[in-house]
Amino acid sequence: MPHIYVIRQTLRSWLRDWGGALTIMALILVIPCAVWMALELGDAETRNWLAQTTYLFFSIVAMMLTFRVARAAHVPARIRRSWLFFGAAFLASGLGNAIWLIYTKALHQEPAASWADLFWLAFYPLILIGLLFLPTAPRQRAERVAFWLDAGATLVGGGMLIWFFSVLPRAGAGLDDPWLTALLLAYPVGDLIALFGVVRIALGSDNWRGALPMHMFSLGLLAFLAGDLGYSSMMMSETYQEGMWPSSLWIAAYTIFAVAAQLQLTSQAALAGQSATDGATTASLNLLPYLGIVVGFGLLLAVTIQNWTRPLGDLIIGALALTVIVMVRQIVAMRENVRLATERAAAEHASQIKSEFLANMSHELRTPLNSIINFTRIISTGARGPVTPEQIDYLNRVRQSGEHLLGLINDILDLSKIEADRMELFRESFQIGDLIQSVLATASGLVKEKPSNCGARLRQTCRRSTLIAHAFGRSCSTCSRMRQSSPMLAQSQYVPRSATARS
C-alpha cells in the first residue's frame, strides 16, 4: 500500500508538469508499439513505418527531457553537465534516425553505410563522456582496486557476449570494403561503451545520493545493448527486418531514458533540502560481477554442448560446477560482510547522534551550573551587600554542591570516557575530614526534619575526593528518605599500598 501511495503521488505531480505529462504519454505509447513489433503483428511495411517513426519520436522525447535536466538550476552543476552530454547523445541519435528515415522513405534507399551511421556512432562516446562526469565520493585504495576488479569481471563476461554475437559474425562476413568493415566493427565497440556505462552506474551508485534515476538510465543502456546484439545476430543470419523485436528494445530504451531524466529532475528537488549526512549509509551486495561470470561460463557451456568432445567436454562441465560452488560460497560470505558493514554504519551513525546530543547537553547543563557557582561566590564575598556568617555558610554549601554536581556532569559528558567505556583515576590529596564535614553540611537540610542521625569517625588522609563525596552524599540522601530512625556513621581508615583493598 505505501508503494501504491507513492506511485499515485508521483503520477499526480508529473501530470501537473509538462515534462512529467510528456513522460507519461511516452510510457502509454511505447507499450502497444513495442508489443506490435516484438510479436511481428501486421505486414512488414507497416512495421517498418512504425519502427522508423517511433525511433525518431522517442529519441526526441528523451532529448527534450535530458536537456531540461541540464538546464535545471536546482540540480548540481556536475550532474547537469552529465545530462547535457546525454542530451547531445540523444540529439545525435535522433539526427541519425531522421537521416535514415529520409534515405528509406523519401529516397527509397537502404545503403550499407550512410551519414546516419556517423550520428548513430556518435551516441556512444557522448554517453561515455556524460558518465565520466558523474560525481563520485572519494575512494580508498582498496575500494578502487575492488571497483576495477568487479568492473573487469563484468566487462570480460559482457565482452564475451558482444564478441560472440556481434564481433565474430561481422569479422567473418568477408567484406571487401575495409571502410565498411571498420564501420561494422565500430558498433560492437559502442556496445562495450554501453556495457561500461552500466558497470559504472551499478558499481558506483553506493556513493551517490538519489541513485534511482541513474539505475533507470543503466536499464535503458541494457535495453539498447540487447537491441544492438539482437540486430547484429539477425543481420548476420540475414533474418532481420525493420520493426522486429530489436526495434522494440530500442524504443523501450529511449522511453526509459526519458523516465530517468524526469526522475532526476524531481528527485533532485526532493534531495535539495536534505543534509548529506541524513541517515546511516547502508552497504549492498552487488551481483553484477557474478552475473558477468555467469554470462561468460554460460556462453562457454553453450558452445561446448554444440561442439562436444570427450574428455574436454567433461572437464569443462566439472570446471563449471566448481566455479558455481565457489561463486555461491563467495556470495554467502559477501552477504555476511554486507550485513556487518551495515551494522557498523548504523552504529557509527548512532554514535554520531549521541555525540551531538552530548555536546548540546553539555552546554545546557554546564552553563547554568557555572552561573549558580559564580553568583553564589559573588554574593558570599559581600559585593552586593552585607551577608551574615550563617548566610555565607549556606552560600558556601550551595557553591560546593554546585561544584560537586558540575564535576559529576563533566565525568558523564566527557566523550572520550564514554566512548572508551572506562573511568580514569588520578591522584588527588585532600583532608577527608573536611570533605565529610562539607557533605554533612550539605545534607543537613535533607536530614534536619527526618528521624535520622548522620555522623563521622575520621582517621587518615584519603584520595579521589569527588568519588568519595559522591558516594557519601548518596548515602545521606538514602538515609533521609527512610521513615524510621536509621543512624549513619562514616568512617575513614588508612590502607597501605601493599594491602588488599576491601569493600
What integer pLDDT is reported at residue 399 of this predicted model? 80
Helix (H, G, I), strand (E, B) or coil at 488: strand
Q: What is the pLDDT of residues 352-401, one digit of tens each?
A: 777 777 667 666 777 777 778 777 877 877 766 787 888 888 888 888 88
Q: Is there a single domain that holds both residue 59 and residue 154?
A: yes
DSSP-derived secondary structure letter, 277? T
Q: Is there a single domain that holds both residue 261 and residue 121?
A: yes
Domain membership flag for residue 302: no
Q: Which residue has the higher pLDDT, 4 or 353?
A: 353
Q: Which residue has the higher pLDDT, 482 or 60?
A: 60
Task: Give the whole-number percent of the chain exceeding pLDDT 90.
Answer: 21
Compute the average pLDDT of residues 172-192: 72
What integer pLDDT is reported at residue 34 of this predicted model? 93
- Cα–Cα distance measured from residue 72 to residue 65, given in angstroms and rounded to the nearest whole number: 11
Concatenating the DSSP letter of every residue in 215-228 gives HHHHHHHHHHHHHH
What integer pLDDT is reported at residue 68 of this predicted model? 94
Which stretch, 130-144, 189-203, 248-262, has highest mean pLDDT? 248-262
Task: Give the whole-number percent of the chain exceeding pLDDT 70.
Answer: 70
What integer pLDDT is reported at residue 158 of this predicted model? 81
- Cα–Cα distance measured from residue 418 to residue 160, given in angstroms and rounded to the nearest whole number: 56
- Cα–Cα distance measured from residue 322 to residue 347, given in angstroms and rounded to the nearest whole number: 38
Q: Is there a single domain that holds both residue 435 and residue 415?
A: no
- Cα–Cα distance measured from residue 320 to residue 103, given in angstroms and rounded to the nearest whole number: 48
Hey, what long-range contacts does 297-302 have (CB within 8 A, 24 or more apart)? 297/323, 299/160, 299/161, 299/164
pLDDT level of residue 280 (50, 70, 90 thresholds): very low
Q: Is there a single domain that holds both residue 238 and residue 362?
A: no
Helix (H, G, I), strand (E, B) or coil at 177: coil
pLDDT level of residue 161 (50, 70, 90 thresholds): confident
pLDDT level of residue 274 (50, 70, 90 thresholds): very low
Last residue of a domain, one of 420, 439, 459: 420
Q: Is there a single domain that holds both residue 263 and residue 361?
A: no
> Distance from CA of residue 324 to its chain's centroid?
29
Domain membership flag for residue 129: yes
pLDDT tops 80 at residue 47: yes
Average pLDDT over all residues of the chain: 76
Structural domain count, the chain: 3
Give the C-alpha distances (Å, rounded to integers) separating 11 from 15, 30, 58, 60, 66: 6, 17, 20, 22, 19
Domain membership flag for residue 441: yes
Could you list the residue range(s) of the whole structural domain that residue 411 is in?
A: 355-420
Q: Is there a single domain that holds both residue 125 and residue 181?
A: yes
Q: What is the pLDDT of residues 302-348, one digit of tens each?
A: 777 777 777 777 777 777 777 778 777 777 777 777 788 788 888 87
Pairing of strands 429-430, 454-457: unpaired
Domain membership flag for residue 333: no
| Cα torsion angle, 245, 250, 252, 253, sign | positive
Q: Is there a single domain that holds both residue 413 and residue 438?
A: no
Domain membership flag for residue 476: yes
pLDDT tops 50 at residue 220: yes
| Cα torsion angle, 4, 75, 224, 188, sign | negative
Question: Lowest-pLDDT range, 83-87, 309-313, 382-386, 412-416?
Answer: 412-416
Q: Is there a single domain that holds both residue 409 and residue 441?
A: no
- Cα–Cα distance measured from residue 312 to residue 247, given in angstroms and rounded to the nearest whole number: 39
Q: Is residue 86 within 8 Å of 131, Cβ to Cβ?
A: no
Q: What is the pLDDT of residues 223-254, one digit of tens each?
A: 998 898 888 888 777 788 888 999 999 999 99
**Residue 87 CB-density burial (10 A; 0-12 exposed, 13-18 middle, 19+ buried):** buried
Q: Is residue 78 within 8 Å of 134, Cβ to Cβ?
A: yes
Q: Is there a single domain that holds both residue 134 and residue 228?
A: yes
Q: Is there a single domain that holds both residue 372 and residue 250?
A: no
Give the C-alpha distances (Å, rounded to integers) separating 24 from 6, 36, 250: 16, 19, 18
What integer pLDDT is reported at residue 333 of this predicted model? 76
pLDDT tops 90 at residue 75: no
Last residue of a domain, one of 245, 272, 299: 272
Q: Which residue has the higher pLDDT, 318 or 115?
A: 115
Who contacts 363 (Cβ-Cβ below 8 Å, separation ≥6)?
A: none
Q: Is residue 332 within 8 Å of 287, Cβ to Cβ?
A: no
Concatenating the DSSP letter of every residue in 427-487 gives --EE-HHHHHHHHHHHHHHHHTTSS--EEEE--S-EE-HHHHHHHHHHHHHHHHT-SS---
Last residue of a domain, one of 272, 293, 311: 272
